Amino acid sequence: MIAIVNHGLGNFRSVISAIEYLNKDVVITNKSEVIKKSSKIIIPGVGSFKYAMQNLKKLNLIDTLNEQVLVKKKPVLGICLGCQLLLNYSEENKNIKGLGWINGEVKKFKNIKKLPSTHVGWNEVLRENDPIFKNLPKKFFMYFNHSYFPVIKEKNCGLGNTIYSNKFVSIFKKENIYGIQPHPEKSQKFGIIFLENFVKNDI
Amino acid sequence: MISKRIIIVLTFQDGVLFRTKQFHPDYRYTDNFVGNKDVDEIVLIDVSKNKSNRVLFYKAIQRIAKSCFVPIVVGGHINSFDEINKLQDLGADRILVNSIIHTNEKLVLKITNYFGSQFVIGGIDCFLDNEKYKIFINHGKTQVKISIKDCLKQFKKCKIGEVLVQSIERDGSLRGFDNKLNNFVKKNTNIPVIACGGAGNWDHFIDAFKRSKVDGLCTNNIYHYSEKSLRLIKNTLLKKKIHVRPE
């Protein structure tokens, strides 16, 4: 069973629809016991880094998530804001710490000249090799919608790059922890293939 | 490189899907095209006069969201935080607001601070009258005395993440986009701009992408929804060096 962590800020219904389409058991939860029983964890998210972290703290989920991901090594996928929460902190609010599972920070798109300040729409991901990309072409389109982006400071964690004014890491991984900035649940067939690889394969 | 979007706008009155003409229901549709793989985004707007049959609109969102793997934007009658939570639960990925930008700035700021700027699209509904653009809220019913420039300043103040500019008099007219209006909006903001109103045939898209710098174009004309038709226009746009998502 896949557990979708409900911290209050996200398009949870869309993620559930995509996993159900793949015929996988999925539950949306904000309870430690349910997360402990799951086989894999997805942390979606749309919105403020600060409020999402505050909610995770209020729900007493941080210790459980740390144990499940860092000790038990359960596969976890952070989507959009969810992938940003995996890092140390966000420029949005430096006093609020992220989960800090991967060394990195979240920055705002600035000085991007002719481009709009929000990166919204379909853009390409140029990928490396990893089991999460099974059956996906070397370059594929995904749906992005964000004005902050991840900056990964650990070596060998970048799996996919995207260009919006400058190049940034749009998909990353460290051991059992995956992060993806675009929305696979809203990226048509390539997104569905990506999610299928995460939920069905041994990764 | 970020691609240009082709967006479908669907308008509902009391849960029933209609095409509109000058913002009034004009022609009834069915929604069997939602699985179309070439659509880049779908906007669902409740244009009902009152909220008494809102539940029928909720059902329509739910039905569409179940089998739709592109972003769904929902708009119309959004005036509270609870309403947004409800829409997200039904399958909305983003929201479109319009009237509250002018009537409840505090609420809009609360929404953008919590869900992020990227979550909120702000609508500007314009009517060209004697060569001057008038801005309307309440789905074309109430005029607000504000210029387009000032309206965009208000968007910035409210931290809105994208603009949907609609031409009311071109809605359902099938005579092409208002490139002048769309370019003017694009020039006066640094957030993405998508435009709606007037699409009658695919040449209008080629023309609008060539002559304006908008980030996406919308249509609510059913003849644009067939899989084959969208595929063909995307291929044509690519040949003309307009960067759209090929698959």
At residue A94, the pLDDT reads: 84
- Residue B117 domain-assigned? no
A64: domain range? 2-200
pLDDT band per the 50, 70, 90 thresholds, residue B227: low
Bridge partners for A171 per DSSP: A160, A180
pLDDT band per the 50, 70, 90 thresholds, residue B148: very high
Nearest by CB to residue A147, choosing from B5, B94, B118, is B118
Task: With CB atoms and an 8 Å threshold, state whether B69 touches A21.
Answer: yes
Number of domains within chain A: 1
pLDDT band per the 50, 70, 90 thresholds, residue B225: low
Res B28 pLDDT > 90: no
Question: In angstroms, what separates the C-alpha of B57 from chain A's closest C-alpha?
Answer: 17
B216 to chain A, any CB pair closer than 8 A? The answer is yes
Task: With CB atoms and an 8 Å threshold, state whether A124 touches B1.
Answer: yes
Q: What is the mean pLDDT of residues A188-195?
A: 97
A46 to chain B, any CB pair closer than 8 A? The answer is yes
Question: In angstroms, what separates the C-alpha of A36 from chain B's closest C-alpha?
Answer: 24
| A80 carries an active-site annotation | yes
Best-predicted range by mean pLDDT among A58-67, B11-20, B44-53?
A: A58-67
> Best residue in B74, B93, B113, B152 to probe A by mutation, most A CBs within 10 Å?
B93
Find the closest chain B residue to A144 by CA distance.
B2
- Residue B41 domain-assigned? yes
Contact A107, A92 (CB under 8 A): no
- Residue B126 domain-assigned? no
Number of domains within chain B: 1
Domain of A152: which CATH number?
Answer: 3.40.50.880
Q: Which residues does B146 contact at the CB level (< 8 Å), separation at least 6?
A: B102, B135, B154
- Residue B245 domain-assigned? no
Q: What is the mean pLDDT of residues A36-57?
A: 97
Question: In angstroms, what separates the C-alpha of A72 from chain B's closest C-alpha?
Answer: 31
At residue B222, the pLDDT reads: 57
Domain of B32: which CATH number?
Answer: 3.20.20.70
Contact A85, A99 (CB under 8 A): yes
Which residues in B lie closer than 8 A to residue A113 (C-beta atoms)? none
| A146 carries an active-site annotation | no
Query: B82: burial class by Cβ within 10 Å (0-12, 13-18, 19+)?
Result: exposed
Find the closest chain B residue to A166 by CA distance.
B1
Q: Which residues does B52 contact at the CB level (< 8 Å), separation at least 6?
A: none
B229 to chain A, any CB pair closer than 8 A? The answer is no
A165 to chain B, any CB pair closer than 8 A? The answer is no
| A128 carries an active-site annotation | no
User: Which residue in the list A7, A119, A146, A183 is annotated as catalytic?
Assistant: A183
Nearest by CB to residue B91, choosing from A13, A122, A191, is A13
At residue B50, the pLDDT reads: 84
Measured CA to CA, the distance from residue A21 to residue A200 in angstroms comes to 12
Which residues in A lie closer than 8 A to residue B1 (C-beta atoms)? 123-124, 163
Question: In angstroms, what separates the C-alpha of A126 from chain B's closest C-alpha?
Answer: 11
Phi-psi map region of A85: left, alpha, beta (phi>0 left; psi -120 to 50 alpha)? alpha
B88 to chain A, any CB pair closer than 8 A? The answer is yes
Measured CA to CA, the distance from residue B86 to residue A128 in angstroms comes to 39
pLDDT band per the 50, 70, 90 thresholds, residue A111: confident
DSSP character string of B90-148: HT-SEEEE-HHHHH-HHHHHHHHHHH-GGGEEEEEEEEEETTEEEEEETTTTEEE---H
Task: With CB atoms and an 8 Å threshold, state whether B69 touches A186.
Answer: yes
Kindly report, residue by residue over B82-99, the tens digit of the pLDDT. 999 999 999 999 999 999
Nearest by CB to residue B88, choosing from A11, A120, A145, is A11
Enter the tokens of residue A196.
Answer: 């299928």
pLDDT band per the 50, 70, 90 thresholds, residue B229: confident
- Residue B215 domain-assigned? yes
Nearest by CB to residue A186, choosing from B71, B115, B190, is B71
Task: With CB atoms and an 8 Å threshold, state whether A9 touches B93.
Answer: no
Q: Which of A36-50, A94-108, A154-168, B38-52 has the lowest mean pLDDT?
A: B38-52
Kindly report, residue by residue over A68-84, the tens digit of the pLDDT. 999 999 999 999 999 99
Tell me what the pLDDT averaged over chain B comes to: 91
B169: domain range? 5-98+161-239
Which residues in A lie closer than 8 A to residue B69 (C-beta atoms)? 17-18, 21, 185-189, 191-192
Contact A19, A45 (CB under 8 A): no
- Residue B120 domain-assigned? no
Q: ipTM score here?
A: 0.93
Which residues in B lie closer than 8 A to residue A51 (C-beta atoms)? 114
Question: In angstroms, what separates the C-alpha of B209 from chain A's closest C-alpha?
Answer: 15
Question: In angstroms, what separates the C-alpha of B5 from chain A's closest C-alpha?
Answer: 7
Tell me what the pLDDT averaged over chain A comes to: 96
Res A50 pLDDT > 60: yes
Measured CA to CA, the distance from residue A162 to residue A67 in angstroms comes to 32
Which residues in A lie closer than 8 A to residue B43 (C-beta atoms)? none
Secondary structure (H, E, C), B190-223: CCCEEEECCCCCHHHHHHHHHHCCCCEEEECCHH
Give the Cβ contact number of residue B23 at 10 Å.
Answer: 20
Contact B197, B166 (CB under 8 A): yes
